[in-house]
Amino acid sequence: MIIDWYPGHMKRARAQIIEVLPTIDLVIEVLDARLPASSGNPLLEKLRGNKPCIKVLNKNDLADPTVTKAWVSFFEKQQGVKAIPLEAKDRRDVGLLPKLCRKLVPNKGNKGQKPLRVMIVGIPNVGKSTLINTLAGKKMARVGDKPAITTCPQQIDLRNGILLSDTPGLLWPVMDDQNGACRLAASGAIGDNAFDTTEVSLATIDYLTGRYPALVQQRYKLPKLAETPLAIAEEIGRRRGCLVSGGDVDLHRATELFLRELRAGKLGRISLERPGETAAEAINTSNHEPKI
């Protein structure tokens, strides 16, 4: 299975970012705390040059806190980068961002100074629009649970010395790392029509039973884990009533259910990748492609 999802508006978004960046003082990149590497954009690191950057690890409430702590440490070893885990709807968490922006660009954004111009970027469905709305204290950007909600740029005056430039969601044109693409698909960042739900679910089950076996067992009341991801998915289907005539498991329904519950955090706080973890290290078996 090849996952290749690049809506046309994302090409325009890249051009818009290139056009706006020279006027920007600081970049906020919104990442999914469950998969900070795969939800980042390699192009941004090249484009921003020496401009300071805040890596926002959103959906922190869904991620493994120990792994998130390791990611913060990893990012803050990079020049000009600060990292902060938060939940985009939490005003207390988000309220720390303007202070951090002024700390990184101390000559702008305060009373009597020029506005601090901040660009906020992130892949689709990572929570960028929710973060903007929380920062602004009111609904400024469209919010939804489907990828590609934001489709045109806008500038928002936060009325605290900070001007925020929003951009559409951004993914790279060709997702060469299919393991990363699989993680994005599992998280909901890629449109469901662009991948095989069953294959992505089996790869994800494979990973989770190696890293978080107790959470999988507890959620689906499994006395023990079967030997293969396929057998585990079938057992989940039986226990959740995903059956067809004759009592056989409807594997598509079962794996859809699994992905919905994973994305909603119903399995518990789970991270899908760790710092320094290569694609090969993230794999427990070699029975399914792609893998996470």
Calpha distance 292→4 (Å, rounded): 16
23: in domain: yes
Phi, psi of 276 (to 5 degrees): 75, 5
Q: Which of 258, 272, 217, 267 is nearest to 32 (CA)?
A: 272
Q: What is the DSSP letter of 115?
A: P
Question: What's the confidence (pLDDT) of residue 177?
Answer: 74
3: in domain: no
User: Beta partners for 116?
Assistant: 162
Calpha distance 32→139 (Å, rounded): 21
Question: What's the confidence (pLDDT) of residue 290?
Answer: 53
Q: What is the DSSP letter of 28?
A: E
Domain that residue 207 falls in: 196-263
- Please count the structural domains in the chain: 2
Stated pTM of the model = 0.84
Question: What's the confidence (pLDDT) of residue 76?
Answer: 95
My answer on whether 29 and 138 are in the same domain is yes
Calpha distance 279→49 (Å, rounded): 27
Question: What's the confidence (pLDDT) of residue 143?
Answer: 40
Calculated CA dihedral for residues 191, 195, 199, 200, nearest 10 degrees? -30
Question: What's the confidence (pLDDT) of residue 35?
Answer: 94
Along the chain (292 residues), what's the average pLDDT of each consecutive run of 10 residues?
A: 59 75 92 93 80 96 97 94 96 94 92 91 86 83 42 74 78 65 89 89 96 97 96 97 92 97 96 76 40 58
57: in domain: yes
